[in-house]
Amino acid sequence: MTDFRFELLATNGKLRRGRFHTPHGTFETPCFAPVGTYATLKGLTPEQVRATGSELILANSYHLHVRPGAERIERLGGLHRFMNWDGPILTDSGGFQVFSLGHKNKIDDDGVTFQSTVDGSTHRCTPESVLTFQKQLGPDIAMVLDHCPPGDAPRATQLAAHERTLRWARQARDLHDSWGGSARGQAVFGICQGGTDLELRAESAQALAAMDFDGYAIGGLSVGETKKQMAAALDACVDHLPEQKIRYMMGVGMPEDLLEATAMGVDMFDCVIPTRHGRSHTAFAPGGGTIKMRNLQYADDPNPLVESCGCYTCTNYSRAYLRHLSVADEMLGGILLSIHNIHFLQDLMRDIRRRAEGND
């Protein structure tokens, strides 16, 4: 019996309540995973991350492969020990970064060659190499290499990327099987692509489902398409993914998107937005709004950031103090706002899980 298992506990319409089991513990779904690109959630200790209610975190295998190197992390005992996080970790394949960061990337049918944005050195990613990096890093969940073209790319490009993504998924799946599958302690998820083309999306989901991955990601959305296009593409994927497997929408973290996508049957999400917002003096507020912490109106405000929030920041500090930290560019400001923002999304996910169970 594999250590990896998705339990579908309840449904409410298309909204799903579940639990995913890994060798490093379980996480409740729908879930939001904060992102520690370089094996750190910027400015936060693992204890602080845990206290926000986060159970699963993300790291980026592309960035860690470039620096400090996946082999080095393996020698040092793997990613969990390296970053002192004993809960579930997912690493993404780096496909999105390779395609979005590199104007100097060169793609062919076997992989992609690109220049590091760190030191200009040349790297090559193939479906096999990205899985090997992730085997060395040792997260609970690894992602296959996919080709994510720009949202506005012509249909011929979308079609080629879609076919390439499926071929690469097959190669990754075969390699994973040759290593003993998820029994060796790592699950692998496939990634559905196809842009806003509903036929391609459906075909992608069906083909991946036939490959029987441990979970299914929906990539290439929230990259500039309209909300309506995003919803339609999401629907086209979800309809063809197996009921009993977890569904993961990549790179989405705005509260309204989390509400909408969970209502359409998505189980997990990740995004840099809560920590990036935190570092740029912005806090999530109820009702879909944000608080710009540097605004003069908070200079004498003794109230907590968000009255109804039970996070460490809102429990202990005033808006006036947070504004002072932001204006003075003190690093504690970014840390306290990041804590609030992650906690805020985890509260939202808890509400969504309650609703999935039929309790409002």
Residues that bind Zn ion (CB under 5 A): 309, 311, 313-314, 340
Distance CA 164, CA 32 (A): 29
Q: Which one-letter DSSP state was computed for residue 285? A: -
Q: Residues 140, 214, 267, 270: which is the catalytic one? A: 270
Antiparallel, parallel or unpaired: β 282-284 and 290-292: antiparallel
**101 φ, ψ (degrees, to nearest 5):** -90, -35
Catalytic one of 92, 197, 267, 347: 92
Question: Among this protein's residues, is 92 annotated catalytic?
Answer: yes
15 or 348, CB closer to Zn ion? 348
In the complex with Zn ion, the residue whose CB is nearer, 250 or 314, is 314
Which of 8, 332 has the CB closer to Zn ion?
332
| Residue 37, both tokens | 């690109």
- Enumerate residues 6+ apart whose C-beta is below 8 A from 11: 17, 356
Backbone angles phi, psi at 278, to 5 degrees: -60, -45
3-state secondary structure of 117: coil
Cα gap 24→87, rounded to integer Å: 5
User: What is the smallest separation between the CB atom of 324 and Zn ion, expressed in angstroms?
Assistant: 17
**In whole angstroms, how close is the CB of 336 to Zn ion at the nearest point?**
9
In this structure, the number of other CB atoms found within 10 A of the CB of residue 150 comes to 15
Q: Least distance (Å) from Zn ion to the CB of residue 340?
A: 4
We find the least distance from the C-beta atom of residue 42 to Zn ion, in angstroms, to be 18
Measured from the CB atom, is 5 or 279 closer to Zn ion? Answer: 279
Just list the catalytic residues: 92, 270
